[in-house]
Structure 1
Amino acid sequence: MTVTIKGRGIVPGHAEGEALVSHETISGWGGIDPATGTVIERRHPLFGVCFTGKVLVFPGAKGSSGWSGFFQSTRLYGTAPLAMVIGKLSTKSALGAVVTRVPTLSELDADPLDVVRTGDWVVVDADRGLLTVGEQR
């Protein structure tokens, strides 16, 4: 069974892959290691988990304006997520998505954290503003 929800494309493009879901905001500066694409914030539920090659689904950014720079570094290192689905868009997360240059959706008709589970196969069509969620592969 698949579910499709409508959202707003923030960065255009199309990507599909396995979802990695965080129910907590992610800190860029000090919260991720851009060289490895790994969450390094010790108290974060995804501590030690790599988001490289995954569709990162998360509620939003936390921390300083350095957030976008750290996510841009993941693009430069080749460790960026395939795409991002952001529950609540902020200037930090929007700029981070733009400089990371991965398809990004936000402002969805349904809370993506209620719809997507880690391991689900998702299709991010930011050109059309659609998120399609399939069952785990």
Structure 2
Amino acid sequence: MELTAEPLIPGAAACGPCLALSAPISFWGGVDPRSGTIIDARHPERGLCIAGTVLALPGTIGSSSASAVLLELVHAGKAPAALLLDAPDAILLLGLVVAREMGWPTPPAFRLPAAAQPALAGRRIVLSAAGRISCEDRPPPPPG
């Protein structure tokens, strides 16, 4: 399987396990900026860590502080390796722009429709700088 995502915040190629969230998330109050752990008690992926993953977001729940949380994650070395967003989120992406301006290694961000994200869940993927997504492994077996 090979997909192409639209670059939003360019960067170097990235790879990692894909954590495809099953529900939108608010970074403010939903992700611990020190550890990268999802801490929102109502989120289905609560307890999972986004650090080093290719994080697929079917949506975000707005807060003007989301950019600050993402900036803190980058500074702490706990940011995702890359972001795949269903739709651009200017507030969230601002955190990456500021991190880059500060000279910190910044993950790239891409637009990939939410409908395409679940097929990547749990797979190790490689993202080219141009947005080509390729999987290095077979899909995980279906549950049950």
TM-score, length of structure 2 as denominator length: 0.81
Paired residues, number: 132
Distance in 2, matches of 1:84 and 1:106, equals: 8
**Cα shift at 1:40:** 0.5
Distance in 2, matches of 1:31 and 1:5, equals: 29
Percent of counterpart pairs with the same letter? 30
Distance in 1, matches of 2:79 and 2:117, equals: 20
Match of 1:43 in 2: 42
Distance in 1, matches of 2:132 and 2:97, equals: 18
Distance in 2, matches of 1:87 and 1:20, equals: 14
Shift >6 Å, 4+ stretches: none
Distance in 2, matches of 1:25 and 1:41, equals: 11
Distance in 1, matches of 2:30 and 2:118, equals: 24
Task: Kindly indicate whether the alpha-carbon contact (under 8 Å) linking 1:67 and 1:93 is maintained by their aligned counterparts in 2.
Answer: yes
**What does the per-residue CA deviation read over 1:62-110, in whole Å, with 9 as the maximum and x for residues that have no partner?**
12111111011001111111111111222123324434520221045x8
Q: Give RMSD over aligned pairs.
A: 2.0
- Superposition pairs of residues 17-96 of structure 1, within 5 angstroms: 17-96=16-95
**Cα shift at 1:41:** 0.5
Match of 2:126 in 1: 123
- Superposition pairs of residues 97-116 of structure 1, within 5 angstroms: 97-99=96-98, 101-107=106-112, 111-116=115-120
Unpaired runs of 5+ residues, structure 2, are 100-105
**Cα shift at 1:47:** 0.8
Task: Kindly indicate whether the alpha-carbon contact (under 8 Å) linking 2:20 and 2:56 is maintained by their aligned counterparts in 1.
Answer: yes
Q: Whose radius of gyration is greater, 1 or 2? A: 2
Query: What amino acid is aligned across from residue 121 of structure 1 in structure 2?
Result: R
**Cα shift at 1:26:** 1.4
Unpaired runs of 5+ residues, structure 1, are none
Match of 2:103 in 1: none
TM-score, length of structure 1 as denominator length: 0.85
Query: What amino acid is aligned across from residue 123 of structure 2 in structure 1?
Result: D
Q: Which moves more between the two structures, 93-102 or 58-67? A: 93-102
Distance in 2, matches of 1:96 and 1:115, equals: 27
